[in-house]
Amino acid sequence: MELKVYQNKNKVAEEFSKYLIEKSGTQKAFHIALSGGSTPKIVFDVLAEQFSKDIDWNSIHLYWGDERCVAPTDAESNYKMTVEHLISKVDIPEGNIHRIKGEEDPKEEAKRYGALLEEELPKALGLPQFDLVILGMGDDGHTASIFPHEINLWVSPDNCEVAIHPVSGQRRVSLTGRIINNAKTVAFLVTGESKAEKVKVIVDREEGYLEYPASHVAPKTKDLVWFLDAAAAKLLTSYRS
């Protein structure tokens, strides 16, 4: 695990953008699973506005780590957010965008998207392999859309599962642990003081850490990077501002 700590959200966005450019620059096809949430939104803005000319968008293929089961025009759609903050601002081929269809039947869409990953991604260890999976983390320690109350979904034998939000009951299609941990690289983007407590428990492996899905992110390649702002990292024993 590598920790990269920066002073604020904007600096996290800038440094992650540079990291993505370096990672993707040498490959003819680079497959990325995107995250929703407030931090990726800032990253997408910075990537599009400051670094769009530094990336060969013809080589970038976009997927999603999870999607709410809503229409692509709905304000809660991760796809809609990505279109507004990234896709509409860069010259990426339409055929390189592989969205989860949140408007379809959740169980059928989980099967379809799982099959799409089998078709589109290269294989490693017999499983589809992303070049990069971008993850966020909720205040409750969830990641993708695997929540603590459904942590068993992490070890599902399927590529995708239907998860249920513990408060709203909203259904979501999410990648499972077998796909996330088979990625070449996994990068957490976590910012804000509200995340500091869970970041400490998970990164420092304190008592009860395995209750949180984010603690089970452990790519087989060992290439796991946390991009944090100072507020999210402030309780870590390995970090002092």
As a whole-number percent, the residues of the chain with pLDDT over 70 amount to 99
- pTM of the predicted model, to two decimals? 0.97
CATH architecture of 2-192: 3-Layer(aba) Sandwich (3.40)
Owner of token pair 């796991």: 224
Q: Which of 206, 210, 181 is nearest to 196 (CA)?
A: 206
- Read off the pLDDT of residues 54-105 as tens digits, 9 standing for 90 and up: 999 999 999 999 999 999 999 999 999 999 999 999 999 999 999 999 999 9
139-173 pLDDT, tens digit each = 999 999 999 999 999 999 999 999 999 999 999 99
What six digits make up the tokens of 104? 């379809």
Other C-beta atoms lying within 10 Å of the C-beta of residue 118: 12
Side-chain-side CA neighbours of residue 33 (13 Å): 36
Report long-range pairs for 147-151 (Cβ below 8 Å, ≥24 apart): 147/213, 148/211, 148/212, 148/213, 151/211, 151/213, 151/216
Distance CA 73, CA 209 (A): 37
